[in-house]
C-alpha cells in the first residue's frame, strides 16, 4: 500500500510537470505565415518573431509608406490633377478619372482605406513628378526609420522583383507612421463616404480586424500572387500597444488568424514597465544618479529588467538572456576627461617656459656679445686717440726747436 501511494504521488508530480511544459510550449504562437513579428509600438521591443529578417514581397502594405510621406508633405489641402497613367492603374482602385481634381488628403484616404492603386500613382506623381522619383523618396524614408533591408520601386506594392521588405522593417515603418495623428485617424476609419466623378459609394476599410479583434486601430492589408497575403495591424489593449506584421500567409483568413494568435500571446505574456523620472540609479562607484526622464521597456509579466551601469555612464536595461533592451546616458565621465586634461596641461606649461627660457638666454648672449663688441671698439678707439695724441706732441716738439 505504501509503495502504491508513493507511485501515485510520483505519477502526479510527473503529470503536473509534463502539463506545465506542454502548456508553456503551446503558449508560443504556431502560425502559418512564413514571416512575422510583433513589437511594442512605444518601445520597439520585439515580443515575437518568426523569420522576421527574411526578404519578402510586401504587396499593398507598401501604401503605409506612400500615405505617411503624403501626410508629412504638409500639402493635404492642395488639389491634385489625376493623370491618365493614374486613372489606368491596375488592381484595386477608387475609380479616378483623367483630369479629375482631388484633394491630396482624399487621395490618402482612398489609398489607405480602400487600397486604391490609382490614388497611389496620383500621389506619387504629385509629390515627385513621376513614380521612379517618388520611389527614391520612399527608399530615403525607409533608411531614415532604420528599414535597412527594404527597397521600393512603386507606391502601391504591385509585384516587382526589386520591390521587397522584411517583417522587421515594416514594423519599424509602421511604428513611425503611427506616431502621426492624421495617419492614425485615417487607418482607424472603418467607413467613409466617397463622392468622386467616376465613383460614388461608401468606402469600407479592408482591414477586417477593425471589427473582429478588440483594440485594433489599423493598419493595412495586401495581396499579390507572388507575396500571398500580407497584413500589418496595430492593437492597443491592457496598457500595451503592439504592432504585428505577418507576411506570406496562404490565405486572408490565415493572416487574420495568425495576427490574433500573436496578439493574444503578447497581451497574455508581456507588460510594459516604466522607471519613472527621479528614480535613483546606483553606479559601481556607489554614486547615485536620478533619472531625468521616464524609461520604458516591455518584459515578460513578472520579470524585472536587469540594470547595469557601464563605466562610461550608460544605464543598460537587459532581459533575462542578457539582451540590451534600452540604453540611456546616466552620466558623462567628466572626471576622467578632467584628469586627462590636467595631465596634458603641465606638458603645455613645460613647453612654454622652456621656450621663454631659451629666448631669454639667447637675448642675454646677444646683448652680451654686443656689449663685448662695443667695449672692444671703444678700446680700439681709445688706443687710436692715444697714438694720435703722441704723434701730435712729437710734431709740436719739432716746431719748438
Catalytic residues: 60, 63, 115
> DSSP letter at 60?
G
Q: What is the DSSP string of 339-401?
A: HHHHHHHHHHHHHHHHHHHHHHHHHHHHHHHHHHHHHHHHHHHHHHHHHHHHHHHHHHHHHH-
* CA 64 remoteness from chain centre: 17
Distance CA(302)–CA(289), nearest Å, equals 26
Looking up cell 480586424 gives 209
Kindly list the distances between the CA atom of residue 173 and the CA atoms of 58, 142, 146, 216, 249, in Å, as whole numbers in the listed order. Answer: 12, 7, 8, 18, 20
Give 335: exposed, middle or buried? Use CB within 10 Å, 0-12, 13-18, 19+: exposed
Distance CA(216)–CA(208), nearest Å, equals 10
Q: What backbone phi and psi angles, to 5 degrees, belong to 4?
A: -65, -40
Distance CA(184)–CA(243), nearest Å, equals 13
Nearest to 299 by CA among 42, 46, 37: 46
Distance CA(345)–CA(206), nearest Å, equals 69
- Cell for 13? 508530480
Beta strand extents in 73-167 (DSSP E only): 79-81, 101-103
Q: What backbone phi and psi angles, to 5 degrees, belong to 205?
A: -55, 130
Give 232: exposed, middle or buried? Use CB within 10 Å, 0-12, 13-18, 19+: buried
Q: Are the C-beta atoms of residues 209 and 7 closer than 8 Å to each other?
A: no
> DSSP letter at 82?
P
Amino acid at each position: 500500500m505504501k509503495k502504491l501511494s508513493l507511485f501515485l504521488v510520483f505519477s502526479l508530480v510527473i503529470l503536473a510537470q509534463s502539463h506545465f511544459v506542454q502548456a508553456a510550449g503551446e503558449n508560443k504562437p504556431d502560425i502559418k505565415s512564413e514571416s512575422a513579428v510583433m513589437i511594442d509600438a512605444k518601445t520597439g521591443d520585439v515580443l515575437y518573431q518568426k523569420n522576421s529578417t527574411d526578404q519578402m514581397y510586401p504587396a499593398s502594405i507598401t501604401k503605409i509608406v506612400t500615405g505617411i510621406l503624403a501626410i508629412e508633405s504638409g500639402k493635404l489641402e492642395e488639389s491634385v490633377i489625376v493623370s491618365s497613367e493614374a486613372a489606368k492603374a491596375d488592381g484595386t482602385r477608387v475609380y479616378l478619372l483623367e483630369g479629375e481634381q482631388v484633394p491630396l488628403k482624399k487621395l490618402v484616404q482612398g489609398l489607405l482605406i480602400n487600397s486604391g492603386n490609382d490614388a497611389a500613382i496620383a500621389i506619387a506623381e504629385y509629390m515627385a513628378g513621376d513614380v521612379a522619383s517618388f520611389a527614391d523618396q520612399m527608399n530615403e524614408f525607409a533608411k531614415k526609420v532604420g528599414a535597412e533591408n527594404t527597397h521600393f520601386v512603386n507606391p502601391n506594392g504591385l509585384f516587382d522583383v526589386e520591390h521587397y521588405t522584411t517583417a522587421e522593417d515594416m514594423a519599424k515603418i509602421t511604428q513611425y507612421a503611427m506616431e502621426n495623428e492624421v495617419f492614425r485617424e485615417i487607418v482607424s476609419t472603418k467607413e467613409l463616404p466617397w463622392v468622386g466623378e467616376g465613383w460614388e459609394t461608401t468606402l469600407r476599410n479592408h482591414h477586417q480586424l477593425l471589427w473582429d479583434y478588440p483594440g485594433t486601430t489599423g493598419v493595412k492589408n495586401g495581396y499579390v500572387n507572388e507575396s500571398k497575403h500580407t497584413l500589418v495591424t496595430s492593437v492597443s489593449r491592457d496598457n500595451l500597444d503592439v504592432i504585428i506584421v505577418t507576411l506570406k500567409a496562404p490565405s486572408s483568413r490565415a493572416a487574420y488568424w495568425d495576427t490574433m494568435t500573436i496578439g493574444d500571446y503578447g497581451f497574455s505574456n508581456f507588460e510594459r514597465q516604466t522607471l519613472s523620472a527621479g528614480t535613483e540609479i546606483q553606479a559601481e562607484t556607489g554614486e547615485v544618479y536620478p533619472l531625468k526622464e521616464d524609461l520604458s521597456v516591455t518584459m515578460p509579466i513578472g520579470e524585472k529588467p536587469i540594470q547595469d551601469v557601464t563605466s562610461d555612464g550608460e544605464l543598460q536595461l537587459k532581459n533575462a538572456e542578457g539582451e540590451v533592451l534600452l540604453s540611456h546616458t546616466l552620466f558623462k565621465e567628466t572626471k576622467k576627461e578632467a584628469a586627462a586634461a590636467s595631465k596634458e596641461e603641465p606638458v603645455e606649461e613645460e613647453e612654454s617656459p622652456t621656450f621663454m627660457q631659451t629666448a631669454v638666454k639667447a637675448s642675454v648672449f646677444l646683448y652680451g656679445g654686443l656689449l663685448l663688441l662695443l667695449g672692444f671698439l671703444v678700446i680700439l678707439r681709445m688706443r687710436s686717440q692715444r697714438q694720435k695724441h703722441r704723434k701730435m706732441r712729437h710734431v709740436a716738439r719739432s716746431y719748438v726747436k
